[in-house]
Chains A and B, each alone.
Chain A
Amino acid sequence: MSAKRILLVEDEKHIGEAILLNLESEGFEMVWATDGNQAMEYYGNGSFDLIMLDIMLPGIDGLEICRRIRAKLGTEPILFLTARDSLDDKKDGLAIGADDYITKPFDLEELLLRIKAIFRRQAWLRSENTSADGYKFSGGSIDFRKFEVESPNGKFRLSNKECLLLKLFTEHQDEVLSRNTILDGVWGYNAYPSSRTVDNFILRFRKYFEPNSSEPIYFHTEFGTGYRFTPKGKAAHD
């Protein structure tokens, strides 16, 4: 397997150097951009397995870079590295499609763990039991490679996180998945999203697949325990 390519966008010389020094020795292929314009240029000219973004940057800031990448339908996982740690910033980052968030100052080990967790999840998403023609159930079909779903409700594009969570559900059909299982599987060991975040994903899935989202037959919330996916379609209280 070829080395993972990581685009690092960081304007601080020493932080960039330290990250490069360590990630290169871990066997990653690193590309380092020191401002927003350079980042967009590198992004346009190459393919990456992970993008690490600082928020405060000269030129285009990190949130805007993330927004532009997602607008171009880029599905690369994005990890924010930033000194900003207020709740609003986290929400901003997640709302526009970031995958993870690490606040400065951070430990090197923690950074490496997070990067590995992201790659592990990506690998799982693309693992061999993901068939090339995707997954089909009576509510519609999911293409985990193209990040697309198709259902009687229409055709939708998935975010990386949505894709991961759907994958988790399809691998655990008819089982109740606890909130913690979901957080571990999709968000990694540093599970910052609240249960509301998971709820929001479920609401979106219902919009994608359910004939009537107020009476779900595929995506159920089991109060107090977690969530359940029933691909054959089943009313909540059968």
Chain B
Amino acid sequence: MKRFSASSTRNALIIFMILAGIFFAQMLWWIIFQVRNAESTRKYLTSTLEDQRRWAIELLNQHYLSIYQEAEGVIENSGEMTAVPPKFSDPAVSGIIEEGAAEAINFNDSLYLILKSDGREYYLFLNKDYPHSLLTRNQKLECTPHPPGRLSRPDWLTEEYVKINPAAYASIDRDRQRHIRMFVMEGSFFILLMLVGAYMIYIALRRTRQVREEQLLFVHSITHELKIPITAISLFLDTMKRRNYDHDLMADLAPKMKEDLGRLNRLIDNILQVRKLSDNQLELRLEAIDLSSELTRFAGHIRERIESTGGKLNLDIAENVRIRGNLAELIKVWESLIDNSFKYGTSGNLQLTINLRTHREQVEMQFIDNGPGIPEGMGDKLFEPFFRGNIESRKSVPGSGLGLYLAREFVRRSKGAISIKNAPSGGCLVNIRFRGAK
């Protein structure tokens, strides 16, 4: 069963890895595709800019004659400053106008603007509708009479006079980078999403496996716990037979067998109680309890067990401490704590301290032993059903993993709280708190 679960988990993991690989490759391809796409868009836009530039040059050259005549006409009618239309709101234009050294010539909202400065210097600016192309600033254009019979003059404006606006390049690059950034972000977001999903699936799988393992361990532990008293009783019976049912021997062994049967019975009770608790079938009866005298009486019972194995029991029990709770259940809690101290403690010299104190309204009960204590950071987990500390102690220490779970449930039913930690002296310290009753 174990092997099966391990291999099914491994298969799930393999399938998952394959899917994750495909998804990851898809994402990667998508990002690469988008980056390449952005690059080709950039190339296209750049070549459009160059087309426009070439087109502007051609157009201006074709209009050479009319530009020239226009300029000449303006020069002749000089003295009037034409307002610069907003299309030509190039800072260079306004700069020249502010210097007062030039006159703007509006050429019917068309492609270009001619500025005349002192003398016969002309500056040509492109219409804002062609923002990507720039005429070289401050480039004087010499207006010379056109060759006879020729309207166009290809050599008038050469390529070097018209440049592409670097801002246009920059804007294309900016767009491209923005796109790539967007795709990378989206891609990473999807990958992140996938990883989160993968992690959640992993957690769920692990939890399932843990539950299954806990249950297997539980069955294992229960079986072990059941077999111990059965083995002991069986051996005692075999011994009696071998000794021909000797009366003295039987008198000696009978109480031990009775004790083993009690142990079996307690285990079965525990299992039943866990079941009832989880089905909410256990009736809750709270009664007034004189905790001081009940705990003293309980201590009397366990003293013999502790001292017969070379241990020592220290008591510090305040008098007249009363609470409302369920005595039978609380005694089970105490028994289970003592059992744990025996089971997990050092063999033989168990030093157990039981304290009962009141603290204003609070009643505090402590069980402190001199065992190895509990593993770091394990406190609350020990109260979970079937939880039995670390794997090593599960293997080597018998137990059903129900004792502390039942203890916590019973303490809660008596409106108390139980916690476990390591005592400053090194052993295990169990603290049970109740609200006191008058």
> Which A residues have a C-beta under 8 Å from some C-beta of B?
11-12, 14-15, 17-19, 21-22, 34-36, 38, 56-61, 83-84, 104-109
Contact = CB atoms under 8 A, between A and B. Distances in A.
A34 B228 contact: no
B224 A15 contact: no
A21 B242 CA distance: 11
A17 B256 contact: yes
Given A14-B235, A83-B223, 16 more contacts: A11-B347, A12-B228, A22-B235, A56-B396, A56-B398, A58-B396, A58-B397, A59-B347, A59-B396, A83-B227, A83-B231, A84-B220, A104-B227, A104-B230, A108-B239, A108-B242
A109 B242 CA distance: 9
B353 to A, nearest CB: 21
> What are the 7 closest A-B residue pairs judged by CB atoms, nearest first?
A108-B238, A18-B235, A14-B232, A105-B231, A61-B396, A104-B231, A83-B227
Contact of A105 (B230, B397, B398): B230
Contact of B343 (A14, A58, A83, A106): A58
Nearest to B345: A58
Given A56-B397, A58-B396, A83-B223, A104 B228 contact: yes
Interface of B: 220, 223-224, 227-232, 234-236, 238-239, 242, 256, 259-260, 343-344, 347, 395-398
A106 B235 CA distance: 8
10 contacts: A17-B256, A22-B235, A36-B396, A56-B398, A58-B347, A59-B396, A104-B228, A105-B227, A105-B234, A105-B235
Contacts of B344: 58
Given A15-B231, A15-B232, A58-B344, A107 B238 contact: yes
A18 B397 contact: no
Most buried by A among B231, B238, B344: B231
Contacts of B239: 18, 21-22, 108
Contacts of A14: 229, 232, 235-236, 256, 259-260
Given A38-B347, A84-B224, A18 B396 contact: no
Contact of B235 (A15, A56, A57, A61): A15
A17 B231 CA distance: 12
A56 B223 CA distance: 13
Nearest to A64: B396
A18 B227 CA distance: 15
Contact of A18 (B220, B236, B395, B398): B236
Nearest to B2: A88
B232 A18 contact: yes
A28 to B, nearest CB: 15
Given A22-B239, A61-B395, A107-B238, A35 B231 contact: no
Nearest to A104: B231
Interface centre among A14, A19, A57, A84 (most CB of B within 10 A): A14
